[in-house]
Amino acid sequence: MLLRIRDIDRYDDRDVICVNLVESFDRLMAFIEKHLDDPFFLEGTQRVSIRNKMFREVCSNLLMHREFSNAFPAKLIIDRKGVRTENSNRPNGFGEIDPGDFSPFPKNPIISKFFREIGLADELGSGVRNISKYMEFYSDEKPHFLEGNVFKLMLHMQPRTSDQASDQASDQASDQASDQASDQATQKILIFCKTAKSMKEIQDFAGYKHRTHFAKNILTPLIESGQLALTIPETPKHKEQKYVAKPI
């Protein structure tokens, strides 16, 4: 695994993994958690980690479907373009995979069954579908799955950097200052949401810069207190979800 943000000729961070499959999975996930952000995401009223949900699939697929008789090393690289993986493969075809129209083919059935038994994988083909599903929360660009003698996956998402961390801290400080007038802000939001509004519309209206802070400290309490209702309550994470003030 490599991180290449500043030093693109060599690396900023790396981990060479030469252990069993379960420990390999844990170290892959630790590297991901270290270098990639986890955007705020609600499933009902419960926050879940979509980064971990998505990369559970990426990392398990990288290990389950590798052609172990091939000396080509499996790779996971995070750079300025996003995240990409490369893996030796026994192809069932050649070219780009369409997540909406493909026939999954087991590369290592015994290993796949073992991963399912210990909860690191689901049914065959679910990885491609879940990666595509959660990727929309990171980028407008779809993931690319390229089948060949080397299986390649490309995810267009930005890694965490020290500059981003500084900007985030600054935004959070600004948002926390805005919270001092939270009661007044709440009333303004409820008036604004007499007609249904998206989360971004409410955030922009209320003047909050940091999405996670706004969702956790402003939007979620309004939902949990019953002051705001979801327009699509049966699918809380729907991309067309909006919020409307309940009449008093």
| pLDDT above 90 (res 154) | yes
The per-residue pLDDT for 19 is 93
| pLDDT above 80 (res 127) | yes
Residues 202, 223: contact at Cβ < 8 Å? no
The per-residue pLDDT for 63 is 93
The per-residue pLDDT for 161 is 53
Mean pLDDT of 78-92: 91
Predicted TM-score of the model (pTM): 0.62
β-sheet bridge partners, residue 42? 47
| pLDDT above 60 (res 182) | no
Return the closest-CA partner of residue 44 out of 195, 235, 186.
Answer: 235
Mean pLDDT of 5-15: 86
Mean pLDDT of 138-146: 88
The answer for residues whose C-beta is within 8 angstroms of residue 28's C-beta and 6 or more apart is 1, 17, 55, 59, 62, 63, 76
